[in-house]
Amino acid sequence: MPARAETGGGGLTTVWESPHAVGEALAAQGYLADAPLRTAVFLAGALEQPLLLEGEAGVGKTELANAAAAAGGARLIRLQCHEGIDLHQALYDWDYARQLLTLRAAAGGLDEGALFDRRFLLRRPLLEALESDEPVVLLIDETDRADDAFEAFLLELLSEFQVTIPELGTIRARRRPLVVLTSNRTRELHDALKRRCLYHWIDYPAREREAEIVRVRAPGVEEEVVLRVCDAVLRLRGAELYKLPGVGETIQWARALAALGDGGDLDATLGVALKVREDLDRVRAEGVLEGA
């Protein structure tokens, strides 16, 4: 069933009629979502509720937000979380250099309140998303890397979709963005934040599903190479490694073997899939890929 034109103030230019329509729209962007994920994205749009995606690195959490924005005709605004992130990096800051120049030019005859005019306001991703007149998908990436204080702020923001800037007052979302939060689960997020969100765990795809993804994302790769790479990745994920290869590595590995021609050499290209020296050594020492 096709998507319909939006009539309300939601975050997309289209509102999908069903999870199936979500799947078709995402597939058109090269993203293959299974039924539970299609349903989660559909409900996030229909209920205007943030979607929290957890899973191992490389399973397609960030890529889903990119695909959803493209599929829904929306602008993607990304906030990359990191240790020590604060409101001045995520929400807003003041252009102190311009304020100082303006103050000097006024030779002291400028009212202090004028220094906090909007022309001096630097909008960061969260404020940009709240004040956008166009449809927005707001990606809050790797939320687990932020600290407790910032997580508490996100809880407030996502509850009301409004923020208070002391110098300007309360700013409410002009239209609610579709919010996607991701977490690699390096730490547990608080229950209060999770309760504000729809939740979905993205696991590594099954072999057949991953092969289908590779066919879509690397259409020029021969079928024999696609299946060979997916079998090899399955073996790697069954080993005790520091960092397992994600779907992105599977796609790149298939492209690398295709570029080499004649089937390529899995061992010689192992660095496409694995990024830790100890993992490379272990796979070779234990013969994980022998016969692959």
The rounded distance, in Å, linking the Cα atoms of 193 and 199 is 11
Both tokens assigned to 195:
């309760």
27-35 contacts: CB < 8 A, separation 24 or more? 27/216, 28/71, 29/66, 29/67, 29/70, 29/71, 30/67, 30/216, 30/217, 31/60, 31/63, 31/64, 31/67, 32/209, 32/212, 32/213, 32/216, 33/64, 34/205, 34/209
Measured CA to CA, the distance from residue 69 to residue 56 in angstroms comes to 22
Sign of CA dihedral 45, 131, 83, 196: negative
pLDDT of residue 201: 97
Distance CA 100, CA 131 (A): 26
pTM of the predicted model as reported, rounded to 2 decimal places:
0.89
Residue 112: what pLDDT? 67
What confidence score (pLDDT) does residue 99 get?
82
Tens-of-pLDDT digits for all 292 residues of the chain? 344 434 344 567 667 899 999 999 999 999 999 999 999 999 999 999 999 999 999 999 999 999 999 999 999 999 999 999 998 999 999 998 988 888 787 776 666 667 788 889 999 999 999 999 999 999 999 999 999 999 999 998 998 899 988 888 999 998 899 999 999 999 999 999 999 999 999 999 999 999 999 999 999 999 999 999 999 999 999 999 999 999 999 999 999 999 998 767 899 999 999 999 999 999 999 999 998 7
End-to-end CA distance of the chain: 42
**Which sign, positive or negative, has the C-alpha torsion 277, 279, 284, 290?**
negative
Q: How far is CA 286 from CA 175, 274, 282, in A?
A: 55, 15, 6
